[in-house]
Structure 1
Amino acid sequence: MNAPAVPEAARNHPAWITPLDQIDVSHPQLYRDYSFWPYFERLRAEDPVHWCKDSLFGAYWSVTRFKDIMEVETQPQVYSSDSRAGGITIMDANVVASLPMFIAMDPPRHDEQRKAVSPIVAPENLARMESVIRERAGQALDELPVGVEFDWVKQVSINLTTQMLATLFDFPWEDRAKLTFWSDAATAIPGAGVVDSEEHRTQIMGECAQYMTRLWNERVNQAPGNDLISMMAHSDATRNMTPEEYLGNVMLLIVGGNDTTRNSMTGSIVALNQYPDEYHKLCANPALMTSMIPEVIRWQTPLSHMRRTATQDTTLGGKTIRKGDKVIMWYVSGNRDDTAIENPEAFIIDRARPRHHLSFGFGIHRCVGNRLGELQLKILWEEILKRWPRPQQIEVVGEPTRVMSPFVKGYESLPVRIHP
């Protein structure tokens, strides 16, 4: 494949002068610094299925183009998600990555356990939750200070997603901050501020297991309720789970309900501030919300990757993948692939095919809560525009602090000011 025409200004960037076999797009610092884009651009152009022989997480294949990612996603018999083979993230040496959970299972166990919790996001249940989501979003926005700088992540994104998690689990309201803490601890890089070591992570997960087991024991002896723990306790597919499976599925549902929605809520503010013409477009025509929400989720890509493990020797993009190899599908790269998405670098709220993205995965592992995440984001922006209908009334006033992780592509803080 011919090397791309590299812009003059970029020719001295490390992404273009580092030998290909030394490029490692998994390094956490790249995500803290937000400096990974040129590396993915080069891999898509020169080596879209790329072998990295040495990283913090061992050797792995990077799959960086949309069509190749789709090929991996649609062959679960060739590319396994099973926790016993390594699970779903590049970080396979920690207690959470090794837990059995339905996203880290292959059929038929995956299908059975996923089915047990899917009623929580059935259309009729989403319709019931809509008024609660709207009330809480309105309350959170009404409590924001106007005219002074504050942190959007803490006061809006974390606040709202934590409340939603507590509702989904019917979790004791006064302890709901534990859910966010457990989610952060599950995915954090040791030493980056949340967990000090793998031993520290294991200790925190033990505390989570103890708390959640108490709730299970209460719910299993009660009439079936409309919350995730009760659904698992009363389903034939999940009522006899091992303690490890239960903790695995709890952590999956906590992380899935927290990180993705929370970082898309923050990403929407970042995107509209970076693209003021789109902010004007939205305020002039709020009906564009319908296409803006999936575009936010594509542009943000709140989880950078998912991992699979090859179950047999196979070929992908002309490369020979060996049985047991770690294969990383970089959603964050596939969502910027100009062979699949027109003008993918830009944030365009009236994009013709806004749902043509990889942020929710594809195939049997497509995100079970995708509609709930979109609903929360849509309601938040409907409530924002009721209160602040003019472009740039919510202004980003400083650089975001980004999560130091090759898995969660998110924000630790975002300074903003609301103009009255």
Structure 2
Amino acid sequence: MATLAPQSAAARAPDPLDVSRSELYRDDVWQAPFAEIRARGGIHWHDQTDYGPFWSIASYKPITYIESLPDVFSSQAGGITIADFREGVDVKLPMFIAMDRPKHTGQRRTVAPAFTPSEMARMTDDIRRRTADILDELPIGREFDWVDTVSIELTTQMLALLFDFPWEDRRKLTFWSDWAGDIEIYKDEAKRAERLKHMFECGAYFQQLWNSKLGKDPTPDLISMMIHSDAMAEMDPHEFIGNLILLIVGGNDTTRNSMTAYAYGLSQFPDERAKLEADPSLIHNATQEIIRWQTPLAHMRRTATQDHEVEGHLIREGDKVALWYISANRDESVFDDPDSIRVDRPNARRHLAFGHGIHRCVGARLAELQISVLLEEMAKRRLRVEAAGEPERVLASFVHGYRKLPVEVVRY
């Protein structure tokens, strides 16, 4: 199916089922169109959107089916977001999440040792100490921005440690992540050019880190792991930048936005918060439930490499396919009362927020650990977060997150 040039938004009436519209996520009204698509069978073809035509896969079952066929539904052919690459405007920055087998396998295996259970055990005390330091400095009973003070700071510190990144410059990681993950920039060529400039600045900074570790003994940071691997030691500069961006965005957005969802979400469900406060043994399950409820990356994109039928729909070679994890995690056929947070939900761990199959998030354990430690340290101090207003949300259909959240922290 040929890709058509998208009409401008002003030239057509909005399609109520066009779930790529960024304002749905900014205004937190995305639930209804996805529920309608699921009610119609969970698969829907969009003729015209700002991102061109594509299939929306909105139900749990067909998403896991497509994810189980990575050779039929490619991550490499068109990239991992519904925003297309533009010749003459963009520069390809390959990354292993947007690669197919066998290259994907080798590069993923290179970084996977940073996220093993033994590494999680090694890092736990440090994560707990840093979390405690931040919580002990919170202004009890006074309003502050949870996103900047807690979520961004904790995740940026973790990224700095993973990369052995200079501590005083760690906020650069947040800055680069925000530019890299914003697919709204697709619609503005000037901003696309500015993003490219920032990505090359990121690459140049990390090239200096890389050079400083050449010829040195292996250390447990990601740069050293790349240097001492067969699969990634000889990456060209664009591939190096691409994989850095993947690890920065992946390490930043999932954890940062789930930490904010904990603060905001439990304020919306005070009975569930009370249940968690009364029984801290629910923390690990609550962590999975918060990640499900938030779904920090709304979608991943695949491109069909051949004609293939999915639940009665013929997806043709070259078609763009959006896997809406955010909708699968609200699928009524899998999760009872899916729009609510239930800290004791029995199947919370079945969520698809980390994807499914060979591309499942390599850093999932670390994200879960950081969030669980935050909840444990809050419980240890008997601290409760109360939202003091509505959050400012990200205007995007890819990163599903928060810019700001005013809160007060009180003791219970």
Higher mean alpha-carbon deviation, 181-190 vs 111-120, is at 181-190
Partner of 2:161: 167
Partner of 2:174: 180
Shift of 1:122: 1.2
Q: 1:411 to 1:394 in 2, by over 3 A?
A: same
Give the structure-2-normalised TM-score.
0.93
What is the letter of the counterpart of residue 253 of structure 2?
D
User: Are the aligned partners of 1:304 and 1:330 in contact in 2 as well (CA < 8 Å)?
Assistant: yes
Among 340, 348, 357, the residue aligned to 1:363 = 357
1: distance between equivalents of 2:30 and 2:91?
24
Higher mean alpha-carbon deviation, 283-292 vs 40-49, is at 40-49
User: Are the aligned partners of 1:190 and 1:196 in contact in 2 as well (CA < 8 Å)?
Assistant: no
Among 90, 100, 124, the residue aligned to 2:82 = 90
Partner of 1:380: 374
Aligned length: 397
What is the letter of the counterpart of residue 187 of structure 1?
G
Question: Matches of residues 225-374 of structure 1 in structure 2 within 5 Å?
Answer: 225-374=219-368
Does the residue aligned with 2:121 lie in a helix, a strand or coil? helix
Shift of 1:128: 1.0
Q: 1:96 to 1:308 in 2, by over 3 A?
A: farther
For structure 2, which runs of at least 5 residues remain unmatched after alignment? 1-11
Shift of 1:74: 0.3
Question: Matches of residues 179-218 of structure 1 in structure 2 within 5 Å?
Answer: 179-190=173-184, 197-218=191-212
User: Are the aligned partners of 1:190 and 1:198 in contact in 2 as well (CA < 8 Å)?
Assistant: no
Q: 1:296 to 1:54 in 2, by over 3 A?
A: same
2: distance between equivalents of 1:261 and 1:145?
22
Among 119, 123, 132, the residue aligned to 1:125 = 119
Partner of 1:49: 43
Tell me the C-alpha RMSD between the 2 structures: 2.0
1: distance between equivalents of 2:29 and 2:22?
10
Does the residue aligned with 1:160 lie in a helix, a strand or coil? helix
2: distance between equivalents of 1:28 and 1:312?
30
> Any idea what the Cα deviations from partners look like across 1:137-160, whole Å, max 9, x if unmatched?
011111111111100000000000
Q: 1:259 to 1:312 in 2, by over 3 A?
A: same
User: Are the aligned partners of 2:183 and 2:398 in contact in 1 as well (CA < 8 Å)?
Assistant: no
Shift of 1:35: 1.2
Q: 1:207 to 1:74 in 2, by over 3 A?
A: same
Among 385, 388, 410, the residue aligned to 1:397 = 388
Q: 1:215 to 1:302 in 2, by over 3 A?
A: same
Partner of 1:143: 137
What is the letter of the counterpart of residue 52 of structure 2?
G
Shift of 1:92: 2.2
What is the letter of the counterpart of residue 389 of structure 2?
G
Give the structure-1-normalised TM-score.
0.91
Among 190, 199, 217, the residue aligned to 1:223 = 217
User: Are the aligned partners of 1:190 and 1:197 in contact in 2 as well (CA < 8 Å)?
Assistant: no
2: distance between equivalents of 1:196 and 1:135?
42
- Aligned: 1:155 with 2:146: no
Runs of 4+ aligned residues of structure 1 deviating over 3 Å after TM superposition are 18-22, 93-98, 189-192
